[in-house]
Amino acid sequence: MSGSAYRLYLGGHEGRGKKALHHGTVLFNVDLNSLQKYLNPNKKKLQSKGIDSVISRVMNLNEIYPHVNHDNYCKEL
């Protein structure tokens, strides 16, 4: 999985309207060599988080679960 982000809104003074938003990307079978060309964050940002490279944090879901594809993933989700 890659590209996940999270936002929490605690609502108004009385706590009404609380919201939690989360989004992310699931990669099934992406050419990671090609993907690396497009992922170019600030190197200092990566180093501050102890990460060697963006691509080191990215993998395809089918590397762990070869039987999973877009259709059966969506059906189960």
Query: pLDDT (tens digit, 9 = 90+) per residue, 11-25?
Result: 777 767 888 887 778
Give the number of other Cβ atoms within 10 Å of residue 50's Cβ.
6
Number of domains within the chain: 1
**Residue 8 CB partners (closer than 8 Å, separation 6+):** 19, 20, 21
User: In the beta sheet, which residues pair with residue 74?
Assistant: none
Give the number of other Cβ atoms within 10 Å of residue 41's Cβ.
11
Domain that holds residue 14: 2-76
**Residue 71's pLDDT is what?**
92
Query: Which pair of tokens denotes residue 56?
Result: 């080191």
Query: pLDDT (tens digit, 9 = 90+) per residue, 40-68?
Result: 777 787 778 777 766 667 788 889 999 98
Q: Residue 49: how many CA atoms within 13 Å on its side-chain side? A: 11
